Structure 1
């Protein structure tokens, strides 16, 4: 964008070039802000869809779920969903990736990839798909923050909306990447964790509720029997 302003200065003189550069920068900033808002809205939509998928788990009080929590009050980083149940504690990171024509798979080098088969790959795309290894690493780091705060093991899951996950489920670097529609089945099929009674599930959820304050996103902040599930700004 600055290069366009420089060319305008050469063509029309310094004053006109400065005006042109400002216009280009303003347009670019506007696009960046709009793109950021669209990305946030898309991510929030994925989180709401995951929350709806998880909701039936809490009806009999055997599971407890927290949604959209701040890692710390001084940070904007958030935790999408924390689930407590017979399998212990599970952190779920929601991803709203592309359309149903897109795919998520593991490449030859063990890298998680996302893309559309047989489509032309734009600049920055590795091999036959966009690398998504950072998403896996971030989800694992977020789960570690929960584990350190609560003092119990936390499993890590990435729930994918939109794009189709190869085979419906991928296990990579200690993280399970799953088609969001299969999320409840995955949680129910996890091995039982010793000691995770109904009482421990709800007590741990209460501790986590105090430790990780709700963020304001429109996603219900909590969902379990005997606790709040308000949608007015959480």
Structure 2
């Protein structure tokens, strides 16, 4: 409307009645355009699309409940449909696309670590560990955690819950009959490589503690160090970090985080 008035001020002053009609038509057209743009924007937003789908499912559930039982049952069913979908999507959410699957152990640890951000912890997920000067990667740190209590390389593992987990003299870790020596050695090697890379970037020693968070079987201890690798139940990942003494300043945390972000590339580039 205002564009038309600016482009034709003489016509507007001379024929006010006709212009009023045009303004009304223009407002109606603008409203239609705004509605169209709004709908297009909604359809382009994944979160909005998800809520549109939820709404449609809720309406179907409401009608089904109303037809089969009564209004209250229909409304209850509609609410349950929306809640179930919200929970399902929340459980699948992750900053790493490769982890957006039904039961990724990495995603469960990621969710725990997010709650530590307000305590000054910074986290990089799914980072490749370069093996040589050419940047060839031979390993992956699921979660590199940098915070007041130090630097940690956490690997998340989903093991068969039917098989017990046990240790022998802090030197061996068994899952049922399987000796997990290779897995522990790999975790320790990844942490050692990260430590060397970060120290070279920041100019001071950066110890990186390796650990394995296990989901599935029951773990009969809180934290056990086996072959220099901390082993614990996956749901204890947050508790494992938050009660440790402070050894790094906020400035140190930022420096190490920035160095790690540049030196350790994402394992799954977007």
Q: TM-score under structure 2 normalisation?
A: 0.55
Across the two proteins, how many residue pairs are aligned to each other?
162
> What is the alpha-carbon distance in structure 1 between the residues aligned to residue 119 and residue 252 of structure 2?
12
Q: 1:209 to 1:61 in 2, by over 3 A?
A: farther
SS in 2 for 1:82: strand
CA RMSD of aligned residues (A): 2.5
Structure 2 counterparts to residues 134-213 of structure 1, below 5 A:
134-151=182-199, 152-193=206-247, 196-213=248-265
Structure-2 change in CA distance of 1:167 and 1:210 (3 Å): same
Of 85, 102, 111, which aligns to 1:52?
111
CA distances 1:12-32 after superposition (whole Å, capped 9, x unpaired): xxxxxxxxxxxxxxxxxxxxx
1:68 corresponding residue in structure 2: 126
CA positional deviation for 1:104: 1.4
- Inter-partner Cα distance in structure 2 for 1:103 and 1:165: 8
User: Kindly tell me: are residues 187 and 147 of structure 1, through their superposed partners in 2, closer, same or farther at Cα, counting changes over 3 Å?
Assistant: same
Structure 2 unaligned spans of 5+: 1-98, 200-205
Distance 1:214 1:188, change over 3 A: same
Bigger radius of gyration among the two? 2
Q: Of 159, 167, 177, which residue of structure 2 is paired with 1:97?
A: 159
Deviations 1:83-139 (A, max 9, x none): 01111111111111112x332111379421002xxxxxxxxxxxxx21111111111
Tell whether the 8 Å contact from 2:139 to 2:190 is kept in structure 1 after alignment: no
Q: How far apart in 1 are the matches of 2:243 and 2:170?
A: 29
Provide, for residues 170-226 of structure 1, a one-character-per-residue CA deviation record: whole Å limited to 9, x for no partner: 211211101111111110122322xx112221221111000011121xxxxxxxxxx
Q: Evaluate the alpha carbon distance shift between residue 62 and residue 133 of structure 1 in structure 2; reply closer, same or farther with a 3 A threshold.
A: same
Note if contact 1:139-1:156 (Cα within 8 Å) is conserved in structure 2.
Answer: yes
Instruction: Determine which structure has greater relative contact order: mean sequence separation of CA pairs < 8 Å that are 6+ residues apart, divided by chain length.
Output: 1
Distance 1:197 1:98, change over 3 A: same
Specify the alignment match of 1:15 in structure 2. none
Closer/same/farther in 2, CA of residues 109 and 79 from structure 1, 3 Å limit? closer
- Relative to 1, partners in 2 of residues 1:54 and 1:41: Cα closer, same or farther, differing over 3 Å? closer
